[in-house]
Amino acid sequence: MGAKLRRREAITGYALLAPSLFGVVAFLVLPIFVVLWLAFQDWDLLGPLQFVGLDNFASVLTDAQFGRSLLVTLLFVLLVIPVQTGLGLFAASLLTRGLPGSTVLRTIYVLPWICAPLALGVVWKWIFAPTDGALNALLGFRVEWLSNPDLALPAVAAVTIWSQVGYVTLFFMAGLTSIPDMFLEAARIDGASPWQIFWRIKVPLLRPTTFFVLVTGIISSFQVFDTVYALTPNGGPQGSTDVIAARIYYEAFDSFDLGRASVMALVLLVLLVGVTLLQQLYFRRRITYEQT
Amino acid sequence: MSRRDRPGGRDRPGVLATMAIYTVLLIGAAITLGPFVLSVMTSFKSPGQFAREPALSLPAPFTLENYAQLFGPRVDFSRAVLVTFLVVLVVTAGQIAFSVLAAYAFARMRFPGREALFWVYLATLMVPAIVTLIPLYLLLTESGLRNTFWALVLPFAFGSPYAIFLLCEYFRGIPQELIDAARLDGAGTLVTLVDVVVPLSRPILATLTLITVVTHWNNFLWPLIVTSGEQWRVVTVATANLQSQYNGNWTLVMAATTLAIAPLLILFLIFQRQIVRSISITGFR
C-alpha cells in the first residue's frame, strides 16, 4: 500500500516536471554539449560539417583579433564596475537618510534599467551624434564620441553605467537599511565620526551586498552586446569596442565560421565560471575572517 | 517625539547638508531622465525643424508625422508590435505555468533523482546565454523552425530554472496543513496546486510575471539571429534595422525607440512598487 502510494507520488512528480525538464535538457544542457562538439568542426552554416580536430582552438587562441577582444572586454569591465559600484553606493547612502522624495528619486534611477538596452543604445547613438546630436549641442563644440577609437569604449561604458547605476543603488539601499541601529548607536557613543562610521562599519557590513552587486555586474558586463551593437556596430572604430560577445556574433553570423565562434563561446564560459569561483573564494574567506 | 526617534531620522542631516544632498540627487535624476525627455521630444519634431534648429529646441510645431510614418506603408512597425506582444504573451504564460508545476514537484513531492535533477537545474544558471546561442541556432535550423514564431518562443516557454528555484523556495514556506486539508477533501495534486498553492503565491507570481514580460519585451540578440526579413521581426530588431537603414533620420528613429520603450515605462509607472521590489528580491538579469 505504502509502496503503491509512493510510486503514484513519484509518477505525478515526474509528470509535473516533464515540460520544464524537456526545456532544460533541450535548450540549456544539450546546447552545452553541442557547442563543445561544434568547437571541433568546420561549419559555415550552409555546407556539411567537417571534423578538424583542434584546428579551431589553435586558430582562435593565436588570433590577435580575439586577443584584442579579450582585452577590450576586460577594459570595459574595469571601466564599468568600479564606477557603477561607487556611484551606486554613494547614491544609496544619500537616499537612506529619511529625506522626503527619496522613494521617487530611487524609482527614477531604476528607470533605464528596465528599458531595452538596444533601444537605449539607439537613443544614445543620437545623443552622441557629432553634428546633430544632443550632447555636442549642449557642450557647444564638436566631439566625435563614437568614431574616435580612444573615446568609443568609454562612451559605451558610460551608457552602460548610466543604465545600471539604479540597479546597484537599489541593492545598496536594501543593504544599508538592514544594518541594525545598535551598531551605529554604539559607534556614535564611542565618538566615531560619520565618515568613520561609513567606512569602518557600514562598508564592511555591506560585504554580502557588495559581493552580489560585483558578481552580477561583472558577469553581465562580460557579456555586453546590445548596447555595443547599437552604438558601435562591427567592432567600433579600429576594433576598439569589439567585445567578446560581439566578436562571437560576427564570427558566427557575419564570417560564418561557427567552429571558431564556438571555441570563443567556450573561452567566455570558462572565464565566467572562473570569475564566479574566484569571487566566491575571496569573499568567503573575508567574510568568515570578519565573523571570528 | 524627538528628532532622533523618527523612523529613518537617525542620519537626518542639517539644512546645508540637506541642500547639498538634494542638489546631487537632482543632478543625478536629470542625467537619468534627460535622454528619455530629449528622445521623446525629438520624436515629436518635424524632420525640417530637426535639421534647421539646435538639438535641444522644443518641438514647434508639435507633430505626429514620425509616428504616422512608423505605421505607414514603407516602414510599418505594426506587425513587429503584434509579434512582440504575442511572443511576450506565450513565453510568459508558458514560463509561469511550467515553472509552477516543476517548482511544486521539487518542493512537495518525493521521487527518485529529485536532488540530482534540482542540482542540474541550478547548474544551468551558470551558463551565459551567449554560449548556448550557436547550438540553439543549429538546433532550430535543423528542426526547420528558423524564422518562425516557434523559434522565438520555444527556447523560453518551458519554464526557467531561476523562476523554478524562486518558486520552490516560496512553496516550501506554505504550511503543510493547508495542503493536507485540501488532500483530505479529496483534491488531486493539480486541484491542490490551483486552488491552494497558486492563490497563496500571488506576490511571487506577480514578481515573476513582471520580470518575464520586461525581459522578453527587451530581448534582442536571439530574435536578431533566429529571424530574418519582416515576417517575424520583433520591436527591438525592427528598431535596430530602422536605425541602420534610415541613419541620420533621427526624428523617425526616436519615434521608434520611444515606441520600444513606452510600453515598459507605462508598466513601470503602474507597477512601480512591485517592480522595484521584484528587482531586489530576484536580482534578475
Q: Does the beta carbon of A78 lie under 8 angstroms from any beta carbon of chain B?
A: no
CB–CB contacts below 8 A, A to B: 278
DSSP H/E element including A42? strand A41-42
DSSP labels for A146-177? TTSTTTHHHHHHHHHHHHHHHHHHHHHHHHHH
Q: Which fold has domain A63-291?
A: MetI-like fold (1.10.3720)
Residues 6+ apart with CB under 8 A from A246: A69, A225, A228, A229, A235
CA distance A68 to chain B (A): 19
Please answer whether residues B130 and A268 qualify as being in contact, where contact means their C-beta atoms are separated by less than 8 angstroms. Answer: yes
pLDDT band at B207, cuts 50/70/90? Answer: confident
pLDDT score recorded for residue A127: 96
Quote the pTM value: 0.91
Q: In this predicted model, what pLDDT tens digit does every residue of B228-257 receive, in sequence order?
A: 989 999 999 999 999 999 888 999 999 999
Average pLDDT of the residues in B44-72: 92
Contact (CB<8Å) B35/A272: no
Q: Name the average pLDDT for chain B.
A: 89
Distance CA A176, CA B236 (A): 36
ipTM for the complex shown? 0.90
Query: Which residue stretches of chain B are H helix?
Result: 15-43, 47-52, 65-70, 78-108, 114-123, 129-142, 149-157, 161-172, 176-184, 189-192, 198-200, 202-218, 221-226, 235-245, 250-270, 272-282
- With 70 as the cut, is the pLDDT of residue B10 above it? no
Work out the percent of chain B whose per-residue pLDDT is above 90.
Answer: 62
Check: CB of residue B239 under 8 Å from CB of residue A91.
no
Which chain B residue has its CA at the smallest distance from A131's CA?
B55
> What does the pLDDT read at residue B12?
65
pLDDT tens, B82-121? 999 999 999 999 999 999 999 999 999 999 999 999 999 9
pLDDT of the residue at B11: 56
By C-alpha distance, the chain A residue nearest B13 is A97
Strand partners, A42: A50
The full set of domains in chain B, from first to last, is 13-70 (no CATH), 78-282 (1.10.3720.10)
CA–CA gap between residue B102 and residue B106 (Å, rounded)? 6
Q: What is the pLDDT of residue B273?
A: 80
Q: Which of A34, A101, A113 sits opposite B135 (nearest CB)?
A: A34
Q: Report residue A192 as a C-alpha cell.
A: 566615531
Q: Where are the domains of chain A?
A: 2-38, 63-291
Nearest residue, CB atoms, A112 vs list B32, B158, B256: B32
Among residues A55, A80, A57, the alpha carbon closest in space to that of A155 is found at A80
**Residue B125 in this model has a pLDDT that exceeds 70:** yes
- pLDDT lower than 50: segments of chain A: 288-292
Kindly state the average pLDDT of the residues B183-189: 84
* Predicted local distance difference test score (pLDDT) of residue B7: 45
Q: Which phi and psi (to 5°) does residue B103 adopt? A: -65, -40
For A190, the 3-state DSSP assignment is coil
| pLDDT value, residue B31 | 97
